[in-house]
Amino acid sequence: MTTSVIAGKYVLGMRDGEQAVLQDHYVYIDGPKIEAVTRDAPAAGQAVIRYEHGLVMPGFVNLHAHCLRGGLFRGIPDDLEMDPWVPTPVYRILLPLTGIAAQKLTRDELHAVTALGMIDLVKGGTTTLLDMWHHGQEMFFDVAKEVGLRTVGAPFIMSASNSRLGADSNPVWDFGNDGMAQLARSIALFKARDEGRDGLAQVAIGPHATDTCLPELLRECRKTADDLGCLLTTHFAQTPQELALLQARYGMSASGYARDTGLLGKNVILAHAGCATDPDLKVLAETGTHVVNCAFGFAREGQNFPYARFANAGVNTGIGTDSHGMDLLGELRVTGLLSKQYFHKAHTGTARELMRAATLAGADALGRPDLGRVQPGAKADLLVFDLFKPHLQPVWDPLKNLVWKGHAGDIALVMVHGETVMRDGKFLKMDEGAVMRKAAGAAKKIWDIGVERGILPAGC
């Protein structure tokens, strides 16, 4: 029994295995799945969700984010004076504040901050999220269910402890964490909360990074991911210091260390990889390893990790928002512009390439052929953008207009697993105002402690 029909002027559907803009089509939805994409009109009396100037498209697959940090750190890391490649904000502000939040936030406050990040993500077009967080924040899955968001949760597993910057501005860690115990917690979480492809929640194995995990821990993480049949994701090749450390400690390049410790393959998603060399990228492409590009977060620090560099090397490359902001369409625009600037070519980082990266490529990285596409049998995770706006009319090419002129406020409808979670700007699953007020109070609590301890300057 078909439960709903969505009609728009345009549908970003599929033709011969590739995305194609279809005009005047109907998308028929049966429960959590797409039943048909066709010009055939529904029977008389069948209710239709109709947007005369709408673009119906797959929901965005956000391959890397830290939604809890989105609200807690909003506006704090921006415009800071720092030396190139010295991660001062991370080690002197973000990590200390994260530790304070873990100690001081009540369960209700943690719930509100997490919900705020997820609502922001949904209203920015994300319908599937791969998020990394700390053990102890397992309520992530409970909040996601309330919000209606499809998620893959990857709690951090790491050997390093007491992270800080040394006198030479390079990161220093004590290797005092019991990474194997953290891995055991992830295994237990997988057995308790992973719902597989038929549900909304999956669990991935998430070693933190190549420089914060000892080799034996990484190898055990890879073995576990293979045994469980799940994804493995980690931070990779983020800074020159990381590459220098791997060379000094192990005598290996980034890709050599990844190969040695099992961080390559079709079930591996590497976040960032911006400092990977061309030979490194060749290895990633040859092994079918996926990369997630979060260009905006590094651009605000003055660094360019251009999406097209990875994609041109043959690496399947998806898009993530990291923790700076959750508007994925805004992320796409910055991503495309940075690629054009890097290569000095207007025809790189195109709207179609970027849309594919945020949908099909992201779904392929997750091993989910039922996501990231509008076709029969796929999950009904859909967006409708209303193009009847002064900044989007007239329409020659809806994808170009949307990527280069649009914004999250143009989203008219968000559907996840066949359920409408946002319509005409209104989030339907929670009281947004109540969430914002509670989350703002929680953030202020952490910021005030940060000011008292000299981590933050006095606010404006």
Which of 415, 416, 425, 389 is closest to 52 using CA atoms? 389
Which of 243, 235, 231 is closest to 279 using CA atoms? 243
The whole domain housing 8 covers 4-58+380-426
CA gap 139, 29 in Å, rounded: 30
Mark residue 132 as left, alpha or beta (left: phi above 0; alpha: psi -120 to 50; beta: remaining). Answer: beta
For the chain, the first-to-last Cα distance in angstroms comes to 56
Would you say residue 234 lies in a domain? yes
Q: What is the pLDDT of residue 325?
A: 75
CA gap 315, 323 in Å, rounded: 23
Q: What is the pLDDT of residue 92?
A: 83
Q: What is the pLDDT of residue 2?
A: 56
CA gap 107, 143 in Å, rounded: 12
Do residues 53 and 66 share a domain?
Answer: no
pLDDT per position as a tens digit, 81-107? 777 666 777 888 888 888 889 899 999
Q: Is the pTM of this model over 0.85?
A: yes
Would you say residue 172 lies in a domain? yes
Work out the number of other CB atoms within 10 angstroms of the CB of residue 441: 12
Identify the DSSP state of 379: B
Do residues 103 and 34 share a domain?
Answer: no
In this structure, are residues 294 and 271 in contact, taking their beta carbons and an 8 Å threshold?
A: yes
In this structure, are residues 143 and 111 in contact, taking their beta carbons and an 8 Å threshold?
A: yes
Would you say residue 318 lies in a domain? yes
CA gap 264, 232 in Å, rounded: 9
CA gap 100, 102 in Å, rounded: 5
Do residues 53 and 64 share a domain?
Answer: no
As a whole number of Å, the CA-based R_g of the chain is 22
Do residues 129 and 218 share a domain?
Answer: yes
Do residues 79 and 30 share a domain?
Answer: no
CA gap 209, 160 in Å, rounded: 10
Would you say residue 239 lies in a domain? yes
Would you say residue 441 lies in a domain? no
Do residues 331 and 391 share a domain?
Answer: no
pLDDT per position as a tens digit, 305-345? 999 999 999 999 999 999 877 899 999 999 999 999 999 99
CATH of residue 148's domain is 3.20.20.140
Query: What does the pLDDT average to over 295-310?
Result: 92
Which of 13, 48, 59, 55 is closest to 414 using CA atoms? 59
Q: What is the pLDDT of residue 80?
A: 75
Number of domains in the chain: 2
pLDDT per position as a tens digit, 438-450? 999 999 999 999 9
Would you say residue 68 lies in a domain? yes
Give the pLDDT band of residue 1 (cuts 50, 70, 90). Answer: very low
Do residues 52 and 33 share a domain?
Answer: yes
Do residues 106 and 232 share a domain?
Answer: yes
Would you say residue 370 lies in a domain? no
Do residues 73 and 50 share a domain?
Answer: no
Do residues 301 and 180 share a domain?
Answer: yes
CATH of residue 52's domain is 2.30.40.10
Do residues 160 and 28 share a domain?
Answer: no
CA gap 72, 109 in Å, rounded: 11
Do residues 48 and 163 share a domain?
Answer: no
Would you say residue 198 lies in a domain? yes
